[in-house]
Structure 1
Amino acid sequence: MLDNLNTHNEKSLALTFGKDEARKIMEKISLHHTPKHASWLNMAEIELSVVERQYTKKRIATHSYLAKELSHWKERRNRKEETITWSKIAFCGSIFLLLNVSD
């Protein structure tokens, strides 16, 4: 999984390792780029904030206990089909809202 940095491609591998080696590497891997607008990242952050709010108030003694608790949390959340609500606000719209709020 890669972000959209301009160096994350076969051409960069060829510059680093040479064309033949880059071709061999590319046969072994599959590049998957994240969406340019990265909305999936915002949604992941929202999900993590839900976990954080629920689990930072109690003591978690061990890593294995935390893993078990998070597994149960995920199963419950999936079983209930709980979702998050997220919408993308255009940059210009954000500026307009900020200007209106300060008036």
Structure 2
Amino acid sequence: MAESELGVLSSQYLDRRIRDKQTLIDEIAAWEADRNANYAKADWQFATKNARVKLKHLYPAI
């Protein structure tokens, strides 16, 4: 989930140069507040049981 959120952040908000660290912190905080206010959720395409079957080769020791 975190990796997905970072992808959304970089595509929606960080598609340009940020001039300094404080500006970056402020912009990410604003983006995060907006995502939380709008209750952004992941749209999982299959259930955990199905994911374990499909992705068994990636996570064999569950």
Could you say which TM-score interval applies, normalised by the shorter chain? Answer: 0.5 to 0.7
Identity %: 31
- Structure 2 portions without partners, runs of 5+: 57-62
User: Does residue 82 of the first structure (1) align with residue 40 of the second (2)?
Assistant: yes
Q: Counting helix residues as a fraction of each chain, which structure ranks higher?
A: 1
Give the AA of the match of 1:83. Answer: K
TM-score, normalised on structure 1? 0.43
CA distance in 2, matches of 1:52, 1:44: 12
Task: Find 1:62's aligned residue among 6, 20, 29.
Answer: 20
Could you give the per-residue CA deviations for residues 59-103 of structure 1, whole angstroms, max 9, x where no partner exists? Answer: 101000000000000111111111112354224x358xxxxxxxx
Match of 1:77, SS state, is helix
The alignment of Structure 1 onto Structure 2 pairs a total of residues equal to: 52
CA distance in 2, matches of 1:45, 1:63: 21
TM-score, normalised on structure 2? 0.67
Match of 1:70, SS state, is helix
Runs of 4+ in 1 over 3 A off after TM superposition: none
Give the AA of the match of 2:11. Answer: R
Q: Which has the larger radius of gyration?
A: 1
Which one scores higher on RCO, CA 8 angstroms, separation ≥ 6?
2
Aligned to 1:51: 9
CA distance in 1, matches of 2:8, 2:27: 14
Supply the RMSD in Å over aligned alpha carbons: 2.0
CA distance in 2, matches of 1:71, 1:94: 34
